[in-house]
Structure 1
Amino acid sequence: MRILALVPGGIGDQILFFPTLEDLKAKYPKATIDVMVEPRAKPAYRVCPCIHEVLIFNYQDRNGLADYLNVLGMIRDREYDIALNLGQKWTIDLLLWLNSIPLRIGYRSQTSWLVSNPVPLKTKQYASHVAHDLLTSLGVQSSCPPLKIAVPTEDIDWARAEQQRLNLKNNYMLLYNGSSRIPQESKAIYPVEQWRTIIDSFKQKQPNLSVVLLQDSNNLEQTILMQENYPMLKVTRPGDVGKLGAIIAGANSILCTDSDPLQLAVAVGTYTFALFGPTDSTKLLPLGSKRYIGIQSATDKVADIPPEIIMVKMWGS
């Protein structure tokens, strides 16, 4: 049996889909499971061992006929038995229908006649649960598992070496200030000048705590500005998702904006404080857990969260 999951979005969106893949593999342990994702999301599958092949399609582009014919061919060549479409573009449903895939699972919409097993779209819940609802059409009634990833051994070894390089003898806290969304959302970035009060509170509350900036391709400019303004901060630059997950797993806690590192932090169980502006914390963090604290702006801008509110959430006073 061959199964295809079509998953738009970035790395964080893929990680939120991992529990659905986990239960799909449990339902069909001998099945070959492939995913079709955007180019920027492919690196996520370094930490997801249950996937056989990662196919590429840019859901965000203005795709022409040649692009859709290419996808049609990729799907047809692999002769899938089941397809799960997490997107809501009727063009993708049409491609799956044209390929005569027996079980075509998607969310109920005006073009549901293209889907053999439509499922109600319940957006007022945790995003991971929204994806997991698709499995009800396959008879899976279990609750959605928590996020988790499988970090390669070599990435764990890299993280240990990086901790030694940065001289992180005691506990360390990570900071990530950036946006992983396309287009990058300036409203989701916390202003550099507002970090001073927060960083000073770290030195006061936990003077032996090392504070480390996470840098990736999505926050290069922000990291440079943070370094210039706060030279006491250390910087780590993980080269891929596995190394990023490993360095987050070793941290005492992380303070970040809504981003890929946020979902990795949840997946590895690191204490997380996350700043939200244009996105909704209740849809992007597990409900009822004291390990993952969402700090929601009163507006759609993260910049409007006072540093004092962040400190109260972190230190309790």
Structure 2
Amino acid sequence: MHRILLVKPCCLGDALMATPVLRALHTAFPHAVIDVAVSPWAAPAFDGHPAVRRLIPYPERPSLARIAALARQLTGESYDCALGLDRSPYVGALLWLSRIPIRAGLGSGWRGRFYTHPVQPQPTQHETEVYLAVSRALGVPDRGLEPEYFVQPLARERMTARTASLPRPRVVLHPGGAVNPGSRLLAKRWPPERFAHLADQLVARFGATVVLVGGPTDREAVEAVRRTARARLIDWSEELAWEDLAALLAVADLFVGNDTGVGHLAAAVGTATVSIFGPTSPRRYRPLGRRSLVCAPPESWHSPTEQDLRRPFPVPTQHDIRRVTVEDVFNACCTLLESSGAPA
């Protein structure tokens, strides 16, 4: 294969969970051109990836007209094959309309008819395993489950200089998240006062430098953590571009946050990660970094995996993120920090 198209519209965390497919494709076809069709919201997940030639804008609000217009553009690219890593029928229709001869993607029943190699997701699989099943349908061997993100050298250099005076261990807290285009599920946020108590314990136990990060939609959560914490925290929320956030995570000793794309980014750059889950399924969505731990209500590991997270739904008490205690998260942090040699 010489020209390959991968389609992964949204969102940041999901896009990072798809990077093992890029690694597998690039290993199997090192001289192939690989393009990625992705929405502007999720595009930073693929920035600077050495396997990717270019990013093609996928409409954030797809419609038949927009998909048809994009298909006309893709038809002239002469792709040998394409991979649709999304359950949306728009993705299958796009690849079918683009007249790409070999099309592997997620779809069963009528949705599978868009593909020459349809793959039916299994409810017990992690999302990365689901995506890799698509590349395996094309005979491409897996090359590991860990996500990957390549920090830009200049961004790393800037962040190394900016953090040089900050004592270790450096802990990054992200108390927000759960807001994406077409999706707002604040039940995925652990209470900010618990992040504050966690920060106080990390400072008291390890002398940690705690840095708060987040975007404009996280402002209320970040401010609540700052107000409640007794320790002095550093607030870099709304200051960092994506590449700078990645660089900060790369020079940090630990990341703690909710089920968000930032947690997957931390895992992708190799940082020790504690992810707090509920009501979403950690079995399906947890970061798969080599040093990643999850704190979640036990029942959430068996929660319905086909829940549509784009729409509000009643959260069962047994899956409520508030069942995760400060002690649970602090113990996970201690496990990772002590294993890396942080002084207690």
Secondary structure of 1:39's match? Answer: coil
Return the offset for 1:79.
2.2
Work out which of the residue numbers 290, 296, 307 in structure 1 matches 2:326. 307
How far does the alpha carbon of each residue in 1:171-213 deviate from its partner, in whole angstroms, 9 at most, with x for none? 211111111442232111122223343223213311x211111
Please name the residue that 2:186 is paired with.
186
CA contact (8 A) 1:10 1:180 kept: no
Comparing 89-98 with 38-47, greater Cα deviation is found at 89-98
Secondary structure of 2:100's match? Answer: coil
Q: Is 1:79–2:98 an aligned residue pair?
A: no
Return the offset for 1:221.
2.6
Return the offset for 1:149.
1.7
Q: Is 1:219–2:238 an aligned residue pair?
A: no
How far does the alpha carbon of each residue in 1:61-88 deviate from its partner, in whole angstroms, 9 at most, with x for none? 2x44431222122211322211111122
CA contact (8 A) 1:20 1:144 kept: no
- In structure 2, relative to structure 1, the CA distance for the partners of 1:28 and 1:287 (3 Å cut) is closer
State the superposition RMSD in angstroms.
Answer: 2.2
- In structure 2, relative to structure 1, the CA distance for the partners of 1:218 and 1:79 (3 Å cut) is farther
- Give the whole-Å Cα distance in 1 for the aligned partners of 2:93 and 2:289: 39
- In structure 2, relative to structure 1, the CA distance for the partners of 1:234 and 1:280 (3 Å cut) is same
Letter in 2 for 1:161: A
Please name the residue that 2:103 is paired with.
104
Please name the residue that 2:66 is paired with.
67
- Give the whole-Å Cα distance in 1 for the aligned partners of 2:281 and 2:267: 16
CA contact (8 A) 1:170 1:210 kept: yes
Secondary structure of 2:5's match? Answer: strand
CA contact (8 A) 1:43 1:240 kept: no
How far does the alpha carbon of each residue in 1:140-177 deviate from its partner, in whole angstroms, 9 at most, with x for none? 2345342222111111012112204xx30332111111
Q: After superposition, where does 1:8-87 map in structure 2 within 5 Å?
A: 8-58=9-59, 61=61, 63-87=62-86
TM-score (norm: length of structure 1): 0.89
- Give the whole-Å Cα distance in 1 for the aligned partners of 2:56 and 2:288: 32
- In structure 2, relative to structure 1, the CA distance for the partners of 1:180 and 1:153 (3 Å cut) is farther
- Give the whole-Å Cα distance in 2 for the aligned partners of 1:217 and 1:172: 23
CA contact (8 A) 1:129 1:144 kept: no
Return the offset for 1:41.
0.7
Q: After superposition, where does 1:261-272 map in structure 2 within 5 Å?
A: 261-272=262-273
Work out which of the residue numbers 168, 175, 178 in structure 2 matches 1:177. 175
Q: After superposition, where does 1:276-287 map in structure 2 within 5 Å?
A: 276-285=277-286
Moved over 6 A (4+): none
Return the offset for 1:16.
0.9
Comparing 77-86 with 230-239, greater Cα deviation is found at 230-239
- Give the whole-Å Cα distance in 1 for the aligned partners of 2:5 and 2:69: 16
Identity between Structure 1 and Structure 2 (%) = 25
How far does the alpha carbon of each residue in 1:292-312 deviate from its partner, in whole angstroms, 9 at most, with x for none? 110013533323322222223
Q: After superposition, where does 1:111-150 map in structure 2 within 5 Å?
A: 111=110, 112-150=112-150
Please name the residue that 1:244 is paired with.
245
* Runs (5+) with no aligned partner, structure 2: 300-317, 336-344
- Give the whole-Å Cα distance in 2 for the aligned partners of 1:53 and 1:195: 38
Comparing 260-269 with 232-241, greater Cα deviation is found at 232-241
Letter in 2 for 1:86: L
TM-score (norm: length of structure 2): 0.82
How far does the alpha carbon of each residue in 1:224-261 deviate from its partner, in whole angstroms, 9 at most, with x for none? 33223337111224533222121111111111111122
- Give the whole-Å Cα distance in 1 for the aligned partners of 2:196 and 2:146: 34
CA contact (8 A) 1:202 1:209 kept: yes
Q: Is 1:198–2:217 an aligned residue pair?
A: no
Letter in 2 for 1:168: L
Return the offset for 1:115.
0.9
- Give the whole-Å Cα distance in 2 for the aligned partners of 1:47 and 1:145: 20
- Give the whole-Å Cα distance in 1 for the aligned partners of 2:198 and 2:9: 35
- In structure 2, relative to structure 1, the CA distance for the partners of 1:95 and 1:215 (3 Å cut) is closer
Secondary structure of 1:173's match? Answer: strand
CA contact (8 A) 2:59 2:66 kept: no
Question: How many residue pairs were aligned?
Answer: 310
CA contact (8 A) 2:104 2:115 kept: yes
